[in-house]
Amino acid sequence: MITSLKYKVPEVRRPAIPVMGRAPAGAVPALLEGLGDPNDQPAIIDALGRIGGGAEAAVPRLVELLPKASPGVQVKIYGAFAQIGAGAKAALPSITQASKSSNADVRSAAIGAFARVEQDEGTRLPVLIAALGDADAKVRQSAAEAIERMGERAQDAVPALIAMLKNDGDREIALDALREVRVRSVPQLLEMLAIDQPEVRLFACERLGRMGREAREAEPALRALGGSDTDYVRREARRALGRITGRR
C-alpha cells in the first residue's frame, strides 16, 4: 500500500491514502512525500491525524503548510494536531495564533487542537475560558467540550459557563460541561436557580441536594421554587430541601 503512494497516476495513488490512516507510524514518510500535491493534501492530512501520536514526525511539515493553506485545509491541519496530541507541541505557537483568526472555523479547530496538545492545565484553562466568550457558537462549543473533559479541575470556568446558560443556543453544551465540572459553590448554584429556565433550575436543585447541610444558605430560594409551575422543578426543589434540612 505504501508503494501505491509513489505512483504519479492519481487514480492509483489516491485510493491508497485513506487506508494509510490505519497504517503504523512507518507510513508517515510516504504520506509526507505526497503533501506536495495540493489535491492530495486534505486526504493525507486526515490520514496523518488518524495515525495519531505516531505521526509526530509530520508536525513540522504540517506547520510549514499553514501560511499558504486555505481555511479548509487549515482546519484539517489543526484537527490532525488534535489527534496527534502532546506530540504536536511544536505546533503550539501556530495553534495559539490561529485561535485568534478572523475565520471562525479556523478558530474553533485551533481551540480544539490547543485543548489536546497543551498539557499544562494552568496554561490551557484560561485560553478555553476566554474562548467561551467568542462571538461564534462553534468556538464556544469547542471550548465547552474541552472544559467538560477536564471535569472537576475546571472550577475556574464555572462563571463563564453560567453566563452561557442565559443563551438558548449555548445552554445545553454549558450544562453538559457543568455536570462534569460538578459545581460545589452555593452562591454559584443560587445564581443558576435565578435563571428562569427549568433545566437549569433542575440541575441546580440536584447539586444543592447532594451538598446536604452545606447548602443551608439555599433554603429560601428552594422554598420559593417549591411553588414552581414546572412539576419536575417543584419536586426536585422539595427533595433538595429535605436533604438539606434532614426532613425527607
Q: pLDDT for 68-87, tens place per residue?
A: 999 999 999 999 999 999 99
Instruction: Please tell me the distance from the alpha carbon of residue 5 to that of residue 83, in angstroms, as a whole number.
Output: 22
Per-residue model confidence as pLDDT tens digits over 144-196: 999 999 999 999 999 999 999 999 999 999 999 999 999 999 999 999 999 99
H or E element that contains 200: helix 198-211
Provide, rounded to the nearest whole percent, the portion of the chain with pLDDT above 70: 90
Mean pLDDT of the chain: 91
pLDDT confidence of residue 1 = 46
pLDDT over threshold 60, residue 11: no
Containing H/E element for 191? helix 186-193
The type of residue at 199 is E
Q: What does pTM read for this prediction?
A: 0.87
pLDDT the model gives residue 26:
75
What is the pLDDT averaged over residues 110-129?
98
**Residue 34 pLDDT > 90:** no
